[in-house]
Structure 1
Amino acid sequence: MPLRNNYDINCWPKLTAQPGFDLTLEDKIEQQLQTLTLEQKIGQMIQPEIRFVTEQQMQQYCFGSYLNGGGSYPNNDKHATTSDWVSVADKYYRASIASDAGIPTMWGTDAVHGHNNVIGATIFPHNIGLGACHHPELIKAIGEATAKEVLATGIEWLFAPTVAVVRDNRWGRTYESYSESPGLVRCYAEAMVEGIQGVATGNGSNSDFFSEEKCIACAKHFIGDGGTDGGIDQGNNLSDEQALYQLHGQGYASAIEAGVQTIMASFNSWHGDKLHGHKYLLTDVLKQRMGFDGLIVGDWNGHAQVPGCRNDSCAAVINAGVDIIMVPQHWQGLFDNTLEQVHNGEISMARIDDAVRRILRVKYRAGVMDSLPPAERRYAGNEELIGDDGHRAIARQAVRESLVLLKDNDKLLPIQPKQHVLIAGNAADDIARQCGGWSVTWQGTDNTNSDFPGAKSIGQGLIDAISSQQGSTELSVDGSYQQRPDVAVVVFGEIPYAEGVGDIEHIEYDYQHKDDLKLLKRLKSEGIPVVAVFVTGRPLWVNKELNAADAFVVAWLPGTEGEGVADVLVADAAGRIRYDFQGKLSFSWPRTDDQLMLNQEDPNYEPLFAYGFGLNYQHPDRSLAQLPEQNTLPYPKPSDDLILFQRVPGENMHLQLEAGELQELVVSSTQQLGQLLAIHTVDWQVQEDALGLEWLGEELATFAIAGHARNLSTFADNGANLVFMVRVVALPTEPMLLTMTAPNDLVTTAIDINQTLVADGEWHELSVPLASLSKSGFSWTQVTNKFVLSCAGKSHLELANIRISPPQTA
């Protein structure tokens, strides 16, 4: 239930925000504010996305900022160069200063573990790994390095750091948190803000606050995102008000005192009230009580989740205290509606002026108002800064210091010289997997090693290190080998994921397949000593895997510098330790599979490995006794549905566009096949969980969900349906044909779905029996393209939640 009548402002601290009040600056801001029209002020408050705004619109509407979402690139080119990024920044900047307002715009990006959207950038370990380092000076250095790489692309504003304190590791964003400990998060928030922005409390020439090597930081997501009930992304935080600050507010307190200039509102609710619309927390607490004088930015269409709001209309969020509305696509409607809402008194001019005053304050402090065009800035276009050797060295150090040793029976580590080593496992030579989500693409999927130039996989790092000490190696993902190894290193772990997709019900690792466990057991049964290296974004119940390995190392999500793992695991040519283990758990590790919420201050705290645990080579006894393997909780019942698309393509599937001889894999959130068919992500229930498809009407064009051949005969024989959500933006002008295909050009019967489409702007569920697609000669035993839509006319559809579903039983 909401707590609206039971707030206690005294739960929150009174802080001194840095860099402090500057009367001369405030006078300048007030003078400028008086020159702006209402339209120009509203433009400053709206933040569109690069895919949905032109430079002409930037000039016309005086947008104060813009962003690129995860998986969004200049010219929709995943492999855009540094100069491509700078070109976009320069274009929008020049358009903004050519507007009547003449106020420079600023670009925000999710550089959450390095400049992770940019090909070739240094990708640091995700925050959960940095938490295990317990090294604030290193965090500051990472902030400094990240800021320089961001500046190289002409961007001024980082949507980082994330200062969530995670209480339930089922949350799919757990790896974005430094720790379950509010104290460590508080310490790291200060360090990262100072690394990105400089030290706000310095005096005179000693202060590097917003020097030309610095960017604008953003503490996020205010507040309680890591404490939702059940670990559900964008869910409901049920903490009392004291705990909301004591647990979830510490990072904001230190960030404000370090001079953070922007804070992002959270998607989650607090006792049922959405944070984006929470005036008490955003205005009364954050701005007034805690003294934050920077700006509050919304998250991706987060305003639309507030009751009574839409993507294109939300007075409640502005009135609550959000200063910049992140509205990627529907900015035109939001601009018009906000203008009308001010005219009719629904939003006061005082609130508009407060928002714009804060935006201008940040721009003046950060030097945006006096900056050169991006193409003329000191670091812009400097390709050598992207993946700079010094930055990679910092990242490699972070990898070394983040590794946590849980077990080393018989002192198997470090790997000694002149041994033959098998390197196996699904993460052994998979840079995308070791980087995790928010790496080149939003979810971290659809990447190969070639998308990370200059990076090194964990396996390659091991090969190089072992070769240098006169050993030999064999890289084999499945664990097969030509020569019997002296020791096997099995690198395995979670597939990449980001918010929403990463939420889980059960904390047992890979409870459905257990392929990694089978590999560990097979090697162990052959008498081969096994070192397990676990790549993960959270602590998981891995008792079975721990038992099957002689040594067990948690590598978290180490990023591009995989050789940092070998630095610690492999001895030098004389058999001496090169680097010792330093990592200590910043999250408690579960003893049983029912420890869904496990935190160090719990009254009955019984972890397998406590907060702060971590062995090193100096421990005389590094062994671990056999652990119980029995499950306490029943496994979640697997869905009977075959998922084809739910926010991301289903397992072993991908999206593709086709027309005649043309065929393209979909590798970007916005992509177009010639002048024939365009695809982009859209919002259905949460951000970017649906697909927009626009047939341009030149000739027959096809959208397909393709992948490995799959036997669907059981589905077909038992009356299953092809089910999906659809919203019609523009009805097809020609038949919209639904099919499936198999090898040798076999195609099902084509169903024209036009008669089932309703152009009312709402989402509808369509269900097509597989039986209606059956055709003589078509075999359901090897279906490759499991969802195919083709049209020779014009149309615009939005699709979501595509699946093959058995018939419902009573």
Structure 2
Amino acid sequence: MPSKFHKYQIFIPLIFTVIGCKNTSNSKVDEDIMIEKKVDSLLKLMTLEEKIGQMTQVRHFWDTKDDDIATKFIGSVIHTQGINPGETAEEWQQKFVKLQKQALSTRLGIPLLFGVDAVHGQNTYNGATIFPHNIGLGAAANEKLVEKAAAITAVEAQATGFNWVFAPCVAIPFNEKWGRVYEAFSESTEITEKLTKASVRGHQGNLSDSKTVMATAKHFVGDGSTDYGVEGGETSLNATEIEAKLLAPYKAAVQEGIGAVMASFNTVTGISMHAHKRLITDTLKVGMNFKGIVVSDWKGYSRFGGNDIINAGVDVVMAVDGDLDDFQSGVKKGVENDSISMSRIDDAVRRVLRQKYRLGLFENPFPDPSFIAKIGCTEHRKVAKRAVRESLVLLKNENNILPIDKKTKKIIVVGEHANNSGLQSGGWTVNWQGTKENYKGATTILDGIKKQSKGTVIYDKDATGNHYDADLAIIVVGENPYAEFFGDIGHESNQLELTLTKEHQNYINKYQENGVKTLVILISGRPLVVTEQIKKSDAFVAAWLPGSEGDGVAEVLFGDYNFSGKLPHSWPKSIDDFKGKYGPNFWDASIEPLYPFGYGLTFKK
């Protein structure tokens, strides 16, 4: 045992009281007992190679040869950036049916799980309903709405062939420099806990229902609270702080019966979370009585300790990008030389089989073609548009220029973000790092403004026009899409700042300095330092990353609906606020934010 483990003696008394089961009917109890009997019976029939196969997750069409699904007894498949299964949803389903048939052709016929990072809708499919990212849902803080969004995501995921989603992210962001702030609901543990429950209910529902999918709480634990907001960095919080701030959403997810939890990239006091037995096994599995799957993150086996992560409690490994053979042979050798116990292997496989039975995959292993018509349907988009409306936070409304009079004679709309659904949606949209182009079925903010206005609307993409006779300038500015470490402020892969670019600042300056009333709409995955831009504007709206229904923004601006969103994060006033490990409102009472957590105005109608 590494010497650093002595620092974690404090975790022993903090292993949590086992969460009791929710009230269940006798039929539910009987069903659970029957599933456990089936799992035990199947487990007894399995060879070591078949067991290791169930612990293996590969990227389809990329990491495997044609017959690997069958010959290596693969248990699950992940779809992410890379070769798409096809252009249409029918083609996606057919590709996954083909893979499923390979799994079913094996001696024991154990079906595959198909996983996808559907973090704000089935965002890997061009044409799906894309919801606001979680930071926007945190601003809305509407449990029923989050549950509906998750249920719609489940249907559209199933429609494209998936039965497992890697959502929700339940991190608590401590520093806006972190590139994944937008994937989390809020800096508030309480709001995150509440919305986590709703998301799990929406995704999973009655798990054997074909409209639902298995959900995944991620990333366990401390991914949002690393020092200086570094993706995969060190989380130097002590056990008491982790207990107080970070673990409640996981307990809530387990209580709701979540099927999976994903390990995080970060370290905790120098120990990789993937190899952190005291947190994964003692705290999550034993302390919280979690009966589901602990899945690694990308290339977890080769990156974070090989067989150490299995012994720590990881059950399924993303054996991607060349890890497949090394993972399977390494685990087999570990069992043969007694460095991995067979009981640990059996525990992992039991958890996988349990979820496959809960999903009803042994009876219904194939996707339902009738769901395809639901992808991006009007009913789903209405819910997403409502989420957009409720996510908007009004930070300033000087002289009550909002709501906009629909009869305003001339409106000038400025900024590339105003007329680009890709830019308004952020990362994890169509592509891993997002897209800078319009995508199928989406509406833009400009579309909505044109629809609402009865006057003249002119689009000045890069503020090169001289429309100073306009009655109102709507300036739409913000961040370009990013995901994971590519979004970290200060990462060598980018030149991102916690401020607007000079170009976007000039968009605002040009119209404001020429006496045009100026409404600024900020598209961003986190609060930015825009103190001067807020001062210069007449009105300022934090719109986060609204997703595919951009016209929902205009419905609020023009008064069809009032603002109701509240800040899910305290808003920084200065770059100096980030000189320490964490941002405003975390552990340093001397830092006063520009706007406190929970701030948000409404207008007089």
TM range (shorter): over 0.9
1:598 and 2:584 matched: yes
Instruction: Please state how far the C-alpha of 1:338 moved relative to its aligned partner.
Output: 1.6
Higher-Rg member (1/2): 1
Provide the secondary structure at the position in 2 that maps to 1:604: coil
Provide the secondary structure at the position in 2 that maps to 1:251: helix
- Evaluate the alpha carbon distance shift between residue 183 and residue 3 of structure 1 in structure 2; reply closer, same or farther with a 3 A threshold: farther
User: Residue 567 of structure 1 aligns to which amino acid in structure 2?
Assistant: E
1:581 and 2:563 matched: yes
Instruction: Please state how far the C-alpha of 1:448 moved relative to its aligned partner.
Output: 1.4
Instruction: Please state how far the C-alpha of 1:428 moved relative to its aligned partner.
Output: 1.0
1:223 pairs with one of 221, 224, 241? 221
* Whole-angstrom CA distance in 2 between matches of 1:482 and 1:243: 54
- Evaluate the alpha carbon distance shift between residue 135 and residue 616 of structure 1 in structure 2; reply closer, same or farther with a 3 A threshold: same
* Whole-angstrom CA distance in 2 between matches of 1:509 and 1:233: 16
Could you say which residue in structure 2 is the equivalent of 1:202?
A: none
* Whole-angstrom CA distance in 2 between matches of 1:337 and 1:605: 49
Provide the secondary structure at the position in 2 that maps to 1:583: coil
Instruction: Please state how far the C-alpha of 1:82 moved relative to its aligned partner.
Output: 0.3
Provide the secondary structure at the position in 2 that maps to 1:184: helix
Could you say which residue in structure 1 is the equivalent of 2:456?
A: 472
Instruction: Please state how far the C-alpha of 1:348 moved relative to its aligned partner.
Output: 1.1
Instruction: Please state how far the C-alpha of 1:176 moved relative to its aligned partner.
Output: 0.5
Instruction: Please state how far the C-alpha of 1:3 moved relative to its aligned partner.
Output: 4.7
* Whole-angstrom CA distance in 1 between matches of 2:448 and 2:485: 32
Once the two structures are superposed, residues 131-168 of structure 1 have per-residue CA deviations (whole angstroms, 9 ceiling, x without a partner) of 00011110000011000000101210000000000011
Could you say which residue in structure 2 is the equivalent of 1:4?
A: 6
Show structure 1 runs of 5+ residues with no match.
Answer: 199-207, 571-576, 620-810
Whose helix proportion is higher, 1 or 2? 2
* Whole-angstrom CA distance in 2 between matches of 1:196 and 1:164: 18
Show structure 2 runs of 5+ residues with no match.
Answer: none
Is 2:406–2:452's contact at 8 Å kept on the other side of the alignment? no
User: Residue 74 of structure 2 aligns to which amino acid in structure 1?
Assistant: F
2:393 pairs with one of 390, 396, 404? 404
Could you say which residue in structure 1 is the equivalent of 2:20?
A: 16
Could you say which residue in structure 1 is the equivalent of 2:77?
A: 66
Is 1:507–1:593's contact at 8 Å kept on the other side of the alignment? no
* Whole-angstrom CA distance in 1 between matches of 2:38 and 2:463: 67
Could you say which residue in structure 2 is the equivalent of 1:782?
A: none
Could you say which residue in structure 1 is the equivalent of 2:596?
A: 610
Could you say which residue in structure 2 is the equivalent of 1:426?
A: 416
Alignment of 1:681-720 (within 5 A): none
Alignment of 1:167-316 (within 5 A): 167-198=174-205, 208-306=206-304, 309=305, 314-316=306-308
* Whole-angstrom CA distance in 2 between matches of 1:381 and 1:25: 28
Is 1:55–1:95's contact at 8 Å kept on the other side of the alignment? no
Instruction: Please state how far the C-alpha of 1:302 moved relative to its aligned partner.
Output: 2.1
Once the two structures are superposed, residues 58-106 of structure 1 have per-residue CA deviations (whole angstroms, 9 ceiling, x without a partner) of 011111111012x23435x5xx210121012101111101011210011
Instruction: Please state how far the C-alpha of 1:40 moved relative to its aligned partner.
Output: 0.3
Could you say which residue in structure 2 is the equivalent of 1:27?
A: 37
The TM-score with structure 2 as length reference comes to 0.93
1:532 and 2:530 matched: no
Instruction: Please state how far the C-alpha of 1:481 moved relative to its aligned partner.
Output: 4.0
* Whole-angstrom CA distance in 1 between matches of 2:162 and 2:252: 25
Instruction: Please state how far the C-alpha of 1:440 moved relative to its aligned partner.
Output: 0.6
Is 1:585–1:614's contact at 8 Å kept on the other side of the alignment? yes
Could you say which residue in structure 2 is the equivalent of 1:652?
A: none
Once the two structures are superposed, residues 295-339 of structure 1 have per-residue CA deviations (whole angstroms, 9 ceiling, x without a partner) of 100000123232xx3xxxx11111110000111132122112221
User: Residue 8 of structure 1 aligns to which amino acid in structure 2?
Assistant: F
Provide the secondary structure at the position in 1 that maps to 2:6: coil
2:52 pairs with one of 38, 42, 51? 42
* Whole-angstrom CA distance in 1 between matches of 2:585 and 2:191: 14
1:107 pairs with one of 111, 114, 119? 114
Provide the secondary structure at the position in 2 that maps to 1:219: strand
Could you say which residue in structure 1 is the equivalent of 2:480?
A: 495
* Whole-angstrom CA distance in 2 between matches of 1:266 and 1:537: 20
Is 2:100–2:365's contact at 8 Å kept on the other side of the alignment? no
1:553 pairs with one of 534, 538, 541? 541
User: Residue 67 of structure 1 aligns to which amino acid in structure 2?
Assistant: I
Instruction: Please state how far the C-alpha of 1:605 moved relative to its aligned partner.
Output: 4.9
The TM-score with structure 1 as length reference comes to 0.70
Once the two structures are superposed, residues 440-464 of structure 1 have per-residue CA deviations (whole angstroms, 9 ceiling, x without a partner) of 111114x411xx1110111111111
Is 1:229–1:236's contact at 8 Å kept on the other side of the alignment? yes
- Evaluate the alpha carbon distance shift between residue 599 and residue 510 of structure 1 in structure 2; reply closer, same or farther with a 3 A threshold: closer
Once the two structures are superposed, residues 21-43 of structure 1 have per-residue CA deviations (whole angstroms, 9 ceiling, x without a partner) of 73332222111101011100000
* Whole-angstrom CA distance in 2 between matches of 1:333 and 1:600: 42
Instruction: Please state how far the C-alpha of 1:509 moved relative to its aligned partner.
Output: 4.0
Instruction: Please state how far the C-alpha of 1:209 moved relative to its aligned partner.
Output: 4.2
1:337 pairs with one of 323, 330, 333? 330
* Whole-angstrom CA distance in 2 between matches of 1:507 and 1:599: 23
User: Residue 438 of structure 1 aligns to which amino acid in structure 2?
Assistant: W
Instruction: Please state how far the C-alpha of 1:369 moved relative to its aligned partner.
Output: 2.1
Query: Whose relative contact order is higher, 1 or 2, with alpha carbons under 8 Å and at least 6 apart?
Result: 2
* Whole-angstrom CA distance in 2 between matches of 1:236 and 1:601: 17
Could you say which residue in structure 1 is the equivalent of 2:168?
A: 161
- Evaluate the alpha carbon distance shift between residue 510 and residue 606 of structure 1 in structure 2; reply closer, same or farther with a 3 A threshold: closer
Instruction: Please state how far the C-alpha of 1:226 moved relative to its aligned partner.
Output: 0.6
User: Residue 456 of structure 2 aligns to which amino acid in structure 1?
Assistant: S
Is 2:111–2:365's contact at 8 Å kept on the other side of the alignment? no
* Whole-angstrom CA distance in 2 between matches of 1:17 and 1:318: 27
Provide the secondary structure at the position in 2 that maps to 1:423: strand
Provide the secondary structure at the position in 2 that maps to 1:554: strand
User: Residue 440 of structure 2 aligns to which amino acid in structure 1?
Assistant: P
**Worse overlay, 272-281 or 55-64:** 55-64
* Whole-angstrom CA distance in 2 between matches of 1:411 and 1:105: 56
* Whole-angstrom CA distance in 2 between matches of 1:581 and 1:63: 49
Give the total of aligned pairs.
583
User: Residue 499 of structure 1 aligns to which amino acid in structure 2?
Assistant: E
Provide the secondary structure at the position in 2 that maps to 1:473: strand
Instruction: Please state how far the C-alpha of 1:600 moved relative to its aligned partner.
Output: 6.6
* Whole-angstrom CA distance in 1 between matches of 2:242 and 2:351: 25
Could you say which residue in structure 2 is the equivalent of 1:665?
A: none
Provide the secondary structure at the position in 1 that maps to 2:114: strand
Once the two structures are superposed, residues 572-599 of structure 1 have per-residue CA deviations (whole angstroms, 9 ceiling, x without a partner) of xxxxx31000010010001222112112
1:358 pairs with one of 351, 358, 368? 351
